Chain A
């Protein structure tokens, strides 16, 4: 089974601030400023797409397809957005995003030392996330 390449993961809070960024690709690394800019750009695009959509009750962009990457986005009920940039046609990314959301609720929100809407610095979240991203290629496909 071919490995699915995930290039990067972003989590942005409800006002568009980047609270978590992780780079998995080896090429096209971004510096902090670029990642912040991209995150808030995505936040605005997502908001505009909701307004422009011809279908009523649209919740914003779920998938952006480009020539050389896919961007999958998941928005939680509280407005926190999770999005991964991955290679084109990568399957099961919605499930991966849900799993990451689950990790966020467990290891970030239940951590008394985490301040809401602030950048995520939780050791356990990093640890478990790394495991999921590693395992994702095998385990998620079976779910």
Chain B
């Protein structure tokens, strides 16, 4: 509303602090929207790999924007340039902004040097989703994997990111692990930087 209150006037719109906006949206509204997103994409494809790719693409666009916004809002227009830096940025800053909490764990793959894993006991997008048996290992976390890929790619860390269900002992529900496999050049650069 124009002229209401005594809002500080900024000569340049870019000087204005970026509003944090409302911090939370309704989980139900999100769940229904996400459900529709999955259903829409499912109607467009004829195999599960294609559906996974489409969800990932949807997430990618989110990731690219989230990176831009958070670098500006949280880090004073600086962006992480080191591997561990960007991973912990995703694990804490990005996760907190998207899901209201830090991710449950961030681990390095034991078998391969270039693999990292972010695990979540109950991924927010999967909260209400039961994947039917005939869809095999399909995981709607592909959307979140896409977000991670979007952040990494745009920060200059090209990587292949996938979402998997990993059963935990003594638990009925498997957890979701986001597997990040970095491109070779990223590791070379990292080694050069020491």
Contacts and interface: CB of A to CB of B under 8 A. Distances in A.
A is bound by B: yes
Interface of A: 106-107, 109-113, 121-125, 127
Nearest to B35: A112
B132 interface: yes
Contacts of B28: 110
Interface in B134-154: 135, 140
B88 interface: no
Interface of B: 28, 31-32, 34-39, 42, 128-132, 135, 140, 172-173
B172 A127 contact: yes
28 contacts: A106-B31, A106-B128, A107-B128, A107-B130, A110-B28, A110-B31, A110-B32, A110-B128, A110-B129, A111-B35, A111-B128, A111-B129, A112-B36, A112-B39, A112-B42, A112-B129, A113-B38, A113-B129, A113-B131, A113-B132, A113-B135, A122-B130, A123-B130, A124-B128, A124-B129, A124-B130, A125-B130, A127-B172
Contacts of A109: 32
Contacts, number: 39
B172 A112 contact: no
Contacts of A127: 172-173
B175 to A, nearest CB: 14
Nearest to B37: A112
A123 B126 CA distance: 12
Which has the most chain B C-beta neighbours within 10 Å: A109, A112, A122?
A112
A121 B132 CA distance: 8
A125 to B, nearest CB: 7
B41 to A, nearest CB: 9
A124 B39 CA distance: 18
User: Nearest 10 A-B pairs (CB), nearest first?
Assistant: A112-B38, A110-B128, A123-B130, A122-B130, A112-B35, A110-B31, A124-B130, A112-B39, A113-B132, A110-B35
Nearest to B134: A113
A14 B41 CA distance: 28
A124 B146 CA distance: 24
A131 to B, nearest CB: 10
